[in-house]
Amino acid sequence: MIKNNANPPIILSLGALDPSGSGGLQADIETAASLGCHCAPVVTSLSSAGAGSDIESTAVDSSLLITQARSVLDNMNVAAIKIGFLGSVANTEAVHTIIHALPSIPVVAHPALLLWDSDDEEQNDLPEAFFSLIVPQLKIGVFSLYEARTISRESDTLATTAQALTSNGCEYVLITGTGHDHPCFQNSSFNIKGLVQEYHWEQEPPTCHGASSTLAMSTCAYLAHGGTPQMSLNQAQNYTWQTMCASRELGFSIRTPHRFFWADKNIESSQDLPATKKSH
C-alpha cells in the first residue's frame, strides 16, 4: 500500500543523462513522479546518444558526483536510493562511500551495462567494482541475465548466478528474461535461500528503451512508500509491463515506456494495452 503523506517520498537517483529522455535519469524522474515520489537526480555520466549499440558515455568527475549527492542528502529527507550506470570505477568507489555511510536507507540498483565500454580505461573494471563495492549494499538488485552473469562472473546456471550475488550481500535479486526454456515471458527473484518467485506472462510488451530503468526505479518507489521487497518487486513488474504495453514511438527506431499511461485519456483500461505473443 502507498502511504498518505503531505510530502512525497524522496528518492536519490544516481545515473546517466540520456539525451533522448527515454532512459537514465529522465526515466527515473518520470517513474518516480508517476508513482507518487520525488526524484532527486545526480548525474554520473553523459551519454552521446539516446539509443543504439554504440553509445559512448563520459563520466563526471567523482568529486562533483559526491558534491551533488551530499547536497541532496544534507538538505532533503531521502527515503531510498536508486543506482543506475555509474560511468567509471572512480564513480563506483565514490557511490560506495556514500551508501556505505547510510545503512538505514534502502538501495536499489540496475547496472545498465548496455552503456559499458570495456575498452575504456575508466570503465574496463566496472563490473568487478560494481560486484565488490555496490552489490553488498543492495536491498534489491535488478539485472538482465547477461548483466548478472557479467557482474557475478558466474554463468553455470541461473541459480548459481543468483547465489553469487546474494551471497555477496544483495538481499534480493531480480533477474529478467530468464524464460528462454519456457513458452512464456519470465523473470525470477532470489534471496540468500534461493529462488523466491518466478513471474510468468503469456504475452510480452514491445522492446522499449528505458524499460530497465523504469523497472528499477518503480521497485525503488514502492520501497520508498514502505513496501516490502517482495511486494515492491511484484508491483513494479506489473507497473513496468503496463508502461511498455502503452509505449510510444518517440524516435531512435525504438519505443519509449509510457510512464503516465494511467493519466492518458486515450487508454480506458489495461485491457486496451497492446501486447505481443512470446516469440523466442
Percent of the chain residues past pLDDT 90, beyond the cut: 60
The residue among 136 and 1 whose pLDDT is bigger is: 136
What span, in angstroms and rounded, lies between the C-alpha atoms of 195 and 172? 10
- pLDDT tens figures, 4-45: 558 999 999 999 988 876 788 999 999 999 999 999 999 999
- Which grid cell sits at 224? 520508498
Domains in the chain: boundaries: 10-277
The domain made up of 10-277 is a member of CATH 2.40.170.20: no
Looking at every residue in the chain, the average pLDDT score rounds to 86
pTM reported for the whole predicted model: 0.88
Residue 119: name the closest of 65, 57, 64 by CA: 57
- pLDDT tens figures, 156-182: 899 999 999 999 999 999 998 776 555
- pLDDT tens figures, 210-235: 788 999 999 999 999 999 999 999 99
What span, in angstroms and rounded, lies between the C-alpha atoms of 240 and 246? 10
What span, in angstroms and rounded, lies between the C-alpha atoms of 199 and 190? 12
| pLDDT given for residue 191 in this prediction | 97
User: How many CB atoms are located within 10 Å of the residue 164 CB?
Assistant: 21
